[in-house]
Amino acid sequence: MHFPSSRPLNVAAFACLAVLTSAAAFAENAPTTGAKPGGDATMPAKPVPTTKVPGPAAPAPAANQIDEAKAAWDKLSLEDRRAIQDALVWTGDYNGGVDGAFGKGTLDALKSFETHHKLNADGTVDAEEAKGIVSAGTSAKAAAKFTLINDAATGVAIGVPLALVGTPTRTEHGTAWTATSKQFTEETFALAETDKDLPSVFQQLKADTRDGRKVDYSVIKPDWLVVAGQTNARKFYTRISVNGDKHLRGFTFSYEKGVAPVLEKFAVAIANSFDPTGKSAPASASAKPEVAAKEPSAPTQPAALPAPVGPMIANGLVVAPGKVLTVAAAVAKCTSLTVGASPASVAKLDKPTGLALLEAPAAKAPPASLPVRANDPSAADPLVVLGFTEAAGKPGPLSVTSGETVGGPAKPGLAAYRVLTQLQPGGTGALVTDRTGALVALVAAVPRQGVQIAGIQPQTAYDVVPGPAIGGFLGAVGIAEAQPGTAQHTTGEIAAAVRGAIVPVVCGQ
């Protein structure tokens, strides 16, 4: 018998270190119902390992300031206090339990919200500020369509961001909701205790090392456990409870490392919503998974998120007078094709490498030819990523961001690695260079519609066409490469050197 967290990546649980201090900590005091405890004031001070170098400690607030903040908090009703804490989760300021209790976590969250909104950051909340906090949190929660659902497959109640996921699918032991972008998965599961008991599950989860799996936080109590950590590409948070019926019920929230900063609040909100008894969700809120299958089927696009229409913007690199290099995805299904504002045509399309060469008579030669890197970058190589943004079907500003290599499944014609960076729609064909200015890769495709938070597509790991394939393609069409240098350059220097050679490719659809 296997558990979701010990199966392959599509079901395994992966959570974020940044959530561990919060989600795992408030879980330590959590009852087995959906209500989360007053762990705010009693969270363990034991830190979670981090790569950040600690700075000087912030001065502790004066005792009278804390007393004033607590007195103002205590004047609010329990319902209002819980609503404020829930809203602060969704504004990204709070990572504790929604119980209405006042402690350091709530005080820090109030101050954080006040600082972000240029209010007096003393943690003292009045009726007007409370209204503003709840309004901001409610808006963010509504945008995700975060809904408490009764999962018929397991009997648990759990919150799901319905705006970001496709149709729920039945797994061997529960239900899975997968982001339409495939960047995260939320999965429930239930097992009879006769199959596995809590201690043996705990040891199994801690011992699993596949895909570079590392446990960063783990705790077990008589009736529940939490295990959280990361693999090579994803982060996970798993919680399992045992009820009076002797069944183990739990959930896993897993997501790519690149979206961790954006999805931390979802991990906290889901953990706060989880009720293994299923009593907290209204009877009408039921998940309706597709036909049972051992592996989830591909999710469908929610009808509320229509596909983009109009021209698609991508990136091209002028490699010779009138010749523009781009990726095949940039010119697929085009009814018209322009480079800049001038007509262009496809001179060569090479499906094995995913590259295309365009004839663009109006394209000027670059100020200097761009060397192509003949080997793959290492994980330690800092990268620079340059690509246009798409604004209402038109080329927007050129975006220059940093990037790094991460592991990824090898696909025909694509690199055995992916590039973790932040690109917006319009980033298909974006250039990836190293610090010497050599072309490392081209981004194979950027979805015109993916997970967006506040209109921004978060950091994501993208498939790329590698430098050796680019060099071979250019050689086959008779375009010579420049010799790579060894001098290291700043991001600004690299952007200035190649800016004139990057042109927008507009594919009419």
- The DSSP symbol for 375 reads S
**Of the candidates 292, 13, 252, the residue with the CA atom closest to the CA atom of residue 168:** 292
- The DSSP symbol for 286 reads B
Q: What is the pLDDT of residue 492?
A: 85
Strand-pair partners of 402: 384
Cβ(182)–Cβ(300) below 8 Å: no
- What is the distance between the alpha carbons of residues 373 and 474, in angstroms, rounded to a whole number? 13
Please give the domain boundaries of the chain with CATH numbers for all domains: 4-48+62-273 (3.40.1000.10), 312-508 (2.40.10.120)
- What is the distance between the alpha carbons of residues 254 and 241, in angstroms, rounded to a whole number? 18
- What is the distance between the alpha carbons of residues 334 and 408, in angstroms, rounded to a whole number? 29
Strand-pair partners of 215: 229
Query: Cα separations (Å) of 434 from 257, 310, 384, 430, 456?
Result: 22, 33, 6, 13, 25
- What is the distance between the alpha carbons of residues 207 and 213, in angstroms, rounded to a whole number? 9
- What is the distance between the alpha carbons of residues 377 and 419, in angstroms, rounded to a whole number? 10
- What is the distance between the alpha carbons of residues 26 and 42, in angstroms, rounded to a whole number? 9
Q: Which runs of E-coded beta strand occur in 165-305? A: 169-170, 175-178, 184-192, 214-221, 224-230, 234-242, 247-256
Taking only the tens of pLDDT, the chain with its 509 residues reads 344 433 332 323 322 322 322 333 333 333 333 333 333 433 322 223 333 333 444 455 566 788 899 999 999 999 999 999 999 999 999 988 898 999 888 999 999 999 988 888 999 999 889 999 999 999 989 989 999 999 999 999 999 999 999 999 998 889 999 998 889 999 999 887 555 678 888 888 888 887 788 999 888 888 889 898 999 888 999 999 987 667 889 999 999 888 887 888 899 999 999 999 888 766 555 555 544 333 333 333 233 334 445 688 899 999 988 999 999 999 988 889 999 888 999 999 999 999 999 999 888 766 557 789 999 998 888 999 998 877 666 787 788 888 888 876 667 778 888 898 878 788 899 999 999 999 999 999 887 655 444 444 556 788 999 999 999 999 999 988 777 788 898 888 888 888 888 999 999 87
How many CA atoms does the CB half-sphere of 408 hold within 13 Å? 23
Cβ(350)–Cβ(477) below 8 Å: no
